[in-house]
């Protein structure tokens, strides 16, 4: 997102936590969605900008459906989008996705392994499906 999100886009907002691999997965899953799986239908914005109270970011989450991707149960992205008055249509936690990937070694907070990319893609597919559903139901714009 430059200054304003793409018109009619679903906003995908990751937590991007820097300390754990889960944060990196949240971020890379977002880019898979916005750049490859659903370009033109989805966009992202900086979570820190939203928390700072940037008027454009706040208006964006209030006027577009949002999907948050959090690394863990602390749910920083989900909570902050909700606190800014945004509508969280779907909240995903990367830690939950690992329950379907027993034994996976996803990498570190700096770089993902092949296992990490498998989990990332799975999450991205799920987000892209939800974005498509929101578009189909015309729930994107309030």
Q: With CB under 8 A as the contact rule, which of the stretches 13-21, 84-92, 133-141 interacts with another protein? A: 13-21
Residue 54 found at the interface with another protein (CB under 8 A): yes
User: Rounded to a whole number, what is the distance in angstroms from the first to the last CA of the chain?
Assistant: 19
Residue 77 found at the interface with another protein (CB under 8 A): yes
Nearest to 131 by CA among 63, 34, 45, 16: 34
Least distance CB 106 / another protein (angstroms): 5
Cα–Cα distance, 18 to 40 (Å, whole number): 27
Q: With CB under 8 A as the contact rule, which of the stretches 22-30, 84-92, 133-141 interacts with another protein? A: 22-30
Alpha helices (H) along 33-113:
47-52, 55-63, 76-83, 94-97
Residue 118 found at the interface with another protein (CB under 8 A): no
Closer residue to another protein (CB): 21 or 67: 21
How do strand 10-14 and strand 65-70 relate by DSSP bridges?
Answer: parallel
Residue 133 found at the interface with another protein (CB under 8 A): no
Residue 27 found at the interface with another protein (CB under 8 A): yes
Cα–Cα distance, 27 to 14 (Å, whole number): 5
At 51 the three-state DSSP class reads helix
What is the binding site for another protein (CB under 8 A)?
1-2, 13-23, 27-28, 30-32, 35, 44-49, 51-52, 54, 71-74, 76-77, 79-80, 95-96, 98-100, 102-106, 108-112
């Amino acid at each position: 997102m430059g200054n304003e999100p793409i018109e009619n886009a679903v906003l995908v907002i990751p937590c991007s936590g820097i300390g754990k691999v889960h944060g990196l997965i949240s971020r890379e899953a977002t880019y898979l969605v916005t750049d490859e799986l659903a370009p033109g239908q989805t966009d992202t914005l900086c979570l820190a900008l939203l928390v700072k109270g940037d008027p454009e970011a706040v208006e964006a989450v209030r006027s577009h459906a949002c999907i948050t991707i959090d690394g863990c149960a602390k749910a920083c992205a989900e909570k902050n989008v909700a606190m800014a008055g945004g509508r969280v249509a779907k909240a995903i936690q990367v830690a939950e996705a690992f329950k379907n990937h027993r034994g996976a070694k996803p990498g570190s907070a700096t770089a993902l392994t092949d296992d990490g990319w498998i989990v990332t893609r799975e999450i991205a597919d799920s987000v892209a499906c939800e974005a498509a559903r929101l578009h189909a139901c015309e729930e994107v714009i309030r």
